[in-house]
């Protein structure tokens, strides 16, 4: 082999070795970040009770709105029946 043929392959090997070292460093950095994240997460989110209260408040609000909608539907139906009854009486006269 001539020197010219070995130079590109040596350069390629050096580039690959440098990339391998960089990837090893990145892997170790990620391992440290994961370990730090695991150690710092000591339990549930401190906002959890507040969020649960908000969920309960919204559920109550939704139930109230549904009840009101049901009441309004009944009222509408009663009014419609009253109007139909009145129209029948008018038609009879």
Tens digits of per-residue pLDDT, 26-52?
999 999 988 888 777 777 777 889 999
Torsion from C-alpha of 81, 86, 90, 91, nearest 10 degrees: 10
Q: How confident is the model at residue 4 (pLDDT cuts 50, 70, 90)?
A: low
DSSP per-residue letters across 3-66: HHHHHHHHHHHHHHHHHHHHHHHHHHHHHHHHHHHHHH--SS-TTHHHHHHHHHHHHHHHHHHH
pLDDT of 79 strictly over 80? yes
Q: What are phi and psi of 55, to 5 degrees?
A: -60, -45
Q: What is the pTM of this model?
A: 0.47
């Amino acid at each position: 082999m001539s020197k010219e043929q070995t130079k590109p392959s040596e350069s390629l090997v050096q580039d690959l070795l440098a990339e391998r070292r960089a990837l090893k460093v990145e892997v170790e950095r990620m391992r440290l970040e994961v370990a730090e994240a695991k150690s710092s997460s000591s339990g549930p989110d401190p906002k959890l009770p507040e969020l649960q209260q908000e969920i309960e408040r919204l559920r109550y609000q939704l139930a109230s709105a549904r009840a009101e909608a049901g009441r309004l539907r009944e009222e509408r139906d009663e009014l419609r029946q009253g109007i139909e009854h009145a129209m029948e009486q008018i038609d009879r006269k």
